[in-house]
Amino acid sequence: QTCVVDNAIDQKISASVTRQVSTALAKAQLTCMNVKSRGRLATCPSGFKVTACSCGMACGSWDIRGEHVCHCQCAVMDWASARCCKMSI
């Protein structure tokens, strides 16, 4: 049994999926922003994730608390900045 109708439908589906997925994904991009705060903590808005932190006093030691908060570790600290990114479609 050669399922001619089935195969024809499958081919239609495959072409449509390929076209629509690539169109949709072509619009998808990484959206990023910076959030700078006084002190040693900086928090990304909801929906964004921290990708990196920058700190005052030339300090390169930081950690990320939860998914959204940059924490600058050096003893004396004047500002903290979070680089926040998300996928937007």
Q: Closer CB to a second copy, residue 9 or residue 39? A: 9
30 bridge partner residues: 87
- For residues 36, 38, 42, 43, the Cα torsion angle rounded to the nearest 10 degrees is -90
Decide if residue 41 touches a second copy (CB under 8 A). Answer: no
Q: Rule CB under 8 A: choose which of 37, 38, 39, 61 binds a second copy.
A: 61
The yes or no reply on residue 29 touching a second copy (CB under 8 A) is yes
Joined tokens for residue 67: 């998914």
Which helix H or strand E contains 12, and what residues bound it?
helix 4-27
DSSP code at position 47: T
- Told to check if 38 binds a second copy by CB under 8 A, we report no
Q: How far, in Å, CA of 48 to CA of 42, rounded?
A: 13
CB of 60 to a second copy, least distance (A): 3
Where does this chain bind a second copy (CB under 8 A)?
6, 9-10, 12-14, 16-18, 20-22, 24-26, 28-32, 34, 36, 49-64, 67, 73-74, 81, 83, 85-87, 89
